[in-house]
Amino acid sequence: MTRTRSRSIAPGFLIIEFISITLAVFLGFLLTEWRTSQAQAQQAEGALKAIATEVSFNERQFSTRTSYYKRVVAEFDSLQAAGTRVRIEDLREWRGAAPPLMRDASYKAALSTGALSHIPFETANALATAYAVQDYVQTLINSVMGNFMSPQAMDPETVQFTFNVFLDLEPEILGAFREVGTNHLHAFGYEASGAD
């Protein structure tokens, strides 16, 4: 007759095996969390680089256009001071009423993908503020351009008034772009326009 001998496993061995399995599972969760965190950080960094480029472009666009508006308004003022009746075709500086063409695709993409949820709150808040100012400007542009579609709206007084509105808003708009660019996007490639 054959006897089966039962093997008894030492309790210490079971404890060590349990601890090693638990540790392996825990390390697996940590590694997965680290990979997810790294992917989110890369996504946020990519979004901030694209937004920095976009904010730099928007600032240059607005700065260039307001520089043009200043020249036209100065010419208006000069002709009016001389007592001349101003006509659009008499303005040497006149290049049309085309507004600044500002972009927001990178910011909207970052919002829709959730990339902005992985950046510091101060940066996200500054971006939201700058793009809210830009939305305000875009609303103004849409309104103005709608008015300029009619030839009667292109009278000198309307053009002068419209350009002055943009010039009055210039410090706040450029200030919003420069604040977010300098304080939050500089490390991601933001470049100030350098013009006022």
- pTM for the full model? 0.79
The burial class, CB within 10 Å (0-12 / 13-18 / 19+), for 45 is middle
Q: Are 181 and 190 in contact (CB under 8 A)?
A: yes
Q: At what angle do helices 156-180 and 121-148 cross, to 10 degrees?
A: 170
Residue 52 has pLDDT above 90, yes or no: yes
* Cα dist from 137 to 96, 99, 109, whole Å: 18, 10, 20
Label residue 171 by pLDDT band (50, 70, 90): very high
158 band by pLDDT with thresholds 50, 70 and 90: confident
Q: Is the pLDDT of residue 186 over 80?
A: yes
Mean pLDDT, the chain, integer: 87
Question: What residue type is assigned to position 65 of the chain?
Answer: R
Percentage of the chain exceeding pLDDT 90: 53
Residue 45: name the closest of 102, 108, 116, 136 by CA.
Answer: 116
**HEC-encoded secondary structure of 121-139:** HHHHHHHHHHHHHHHHHHH
User: Which pLDDT does position 127 carry in this prediction?
Assistant: 96
Q: pLDDT of 23-45, one tens digit each?
A: 888 888 878 788 877 878 899 99
Q: pLDDT confidence of 7, banded at 50, 70, 90? A: low
Q: What is the pLDDT of residue 9?
A: 65
Confidence of residue 112 (pLDDT cuts 50, 70, 90): very high
5/114: higher pLDDT: 114
Q: At what angle do helices 11-81 and 121-148 cross, to 10 degrees?
A: 30
The token duo for 100 is 């600044």
> What's the pLDDT score for residue 99?
86
Task: Give the 3-state secondary structure of 94-114.
Answer: CCCCCCCCCCCHHHHHHHHHC
